């Protein structure tokens, strides 16, 4: 069995998509459709920068999605690969869940782009800059991270945001609580806390204003049943019902990204090969979670051609 997975924020880089667009009209069509849906030249920002503007959450989220869907379109249109025939499951990390839903036919490309633009703006606006923070707890188990977050909270918000892989758990919350958590790692047997260069404390209760904005937007968006089950971040379980997808996307804004559990659940369901489209951030995590499975990242035309030989 095979799962196609899609990266989250942090996988953006100036130059992304340029070679793919030069090589394929199908990739160019994806970038053009996203530009038209957003009313901005996002593709030019992706290819030429500046990096600071591309890193803005409202730009990075639709850009990462567009790059992944362009990669998929090349596979489908030029390689003859049909996701409905080749994938048993799809999943994505945080914003990548929207990409997975788009790939599986639940949300059309233009709607996905607009939802992610709004999601990025709403997440950035939810908390004043400097109020919140995030940190990766290196060498921590999920249980250790939860204990550190609980001890550091002291009446503020401090929760686990991302359970990425063994030894890589991210916490999120008020800046003071994150700083206190960093001072507690040694006594909890954790190697160290690494502050993350993020503009807001994602995936924690401080994001509730963004969750409210997404609830309103998703209520108006057309969401169909995906033709491949999508593993949801907040449940680490497959979902196919449209109303459930809507609800879980809202919960995802403030909830934990249960990536480690999602990969383990897909593996337990029989997945023996993971294919990451549009990035190279998930495969290293997958190799740490399930070292016995085959996993491959696909970004360039050469990598697409290599995948076509194996799929």
Last residue of a domain, one of 163, 181, 198: 198
Whether residues 103 and 215 share a domain: the answer is yes
The predicted pLDDT at position 16 comes to 96
What pLDDT was estimated at residue 3?
98
Q: Given this model, what pLDDT does residue 11 score?
A: 85
CATH number at residue 178: 3.30.70.250
Residues classed as catalytic: 94, 203
pLDDT the model gives residue 20: 96
pLDDT in tens, 103-149: 999 999 999 999 999 999 999 999 998 899 999 999 999 999 999 99
Shared domain for 155 and 268, answered yes or no, is: no
Q: Are residues 227 and 112 in the same domain?
A: yes
Residues in the chain predicted with pLDDT less than 50, given as ranges, are none
Number of domains comprising the chain: 2
Q: Which domain holds residue 164?
A: 132-198
3-class SS letters over the chain: CEEEEECCCCCCCCCCCHHHHHHCHHHHHHHHHHHHHHCCCHHHHHHHCCHHHHHCHHHHHHHHHHHHHHHHHHHHHHHCCCHHHHCCEEEECCCHHHHHHHHCCCCCHHHHHHHHHHHHHHHHHCCCCCCEEEEEEECCCHHHHHHHHHHHHCCCCEEEEEEEECCEEEEEEEHHHHHHHHCCCHHHCCCEEEECCCCCCCCCHHHHHHHHHHHHHHHHCCCCCCCCCEEECCCCEEECCHHHHHHHHHHHHHCCECHHHHHHHHHHCCCCEEEEECCCCHHHHHHHHCCCCEEEEECCHHHHHHHHHHC
Which pLDDT does position 93 carry in this prediction?
98
Which pLDDT does position 234 carry in this prediction?
Answer: 97
Last residue of a domain, one of 152, 172, 198: 198
Same domain, yes or no: 9 and 30: yes
């Amino acid at each position: 069995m095979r799962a196609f997975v899609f990266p989250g924020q942090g996988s953006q880089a100036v130059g992304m998509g340029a070679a793919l667009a030069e090589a394929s009209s199908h990739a160019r069509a994806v970038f053009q459709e996203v530009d038209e849906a957003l009313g901005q030249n996002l593709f030019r920002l992706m290819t030429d920068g500046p990096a600071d503007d591309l890193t803005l959450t409202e730009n990075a989220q639709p850009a990462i999605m567009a790059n992944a869907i362009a990669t998929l379109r090349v596979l489908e249109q030029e390689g003859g690969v049909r996701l409905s025939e080749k994938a048993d499951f799809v999943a994505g990390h945080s914003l990548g869940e929207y990409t997975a839903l788009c790939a599986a036919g639940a949300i059309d490309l233009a709607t996905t782009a607009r939802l992610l633009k709004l999601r990025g703006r709403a997440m950035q606006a939810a908390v004043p800059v400097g109020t919140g923070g995030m940190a990766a707890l290196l060498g921590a188990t999920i249980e250790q991270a939860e204990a550190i977050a609980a001890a550091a909270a002291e009446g503020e918000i401090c929760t686990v945001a991302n359970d990425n892989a063994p030894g890589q758990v991210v916490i999120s919350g008020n800046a003071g609580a994150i700083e206190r958590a960093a001072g507690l790692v040694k006594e909890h047997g954790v190697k160290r806390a690494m502050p993350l260069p993020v503009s807001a404390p994602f995936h924690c209760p401080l994001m509730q204003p963004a969750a409210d904005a997404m609830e309103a937007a998703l209520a108006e968006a057309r969401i169909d049943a995906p033709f491949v089950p999508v593993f949801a971040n907040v449940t680490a379980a497959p979902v196919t019902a449209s109303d459930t997808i809507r609800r879980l996307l809202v919960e995802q804004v403030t909830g934990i990204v249960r990536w480690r559990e999602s990969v383990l659940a897909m593996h337990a369901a029989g997945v023996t090969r993971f294919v990451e489209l549009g990035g190279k951030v998930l495969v290293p995590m997958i190799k740490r979670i399930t070292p016995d499975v085959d996993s491959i990242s696909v970004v360039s035309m050469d990598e697409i051609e290599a995948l076509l030989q194996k799929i």
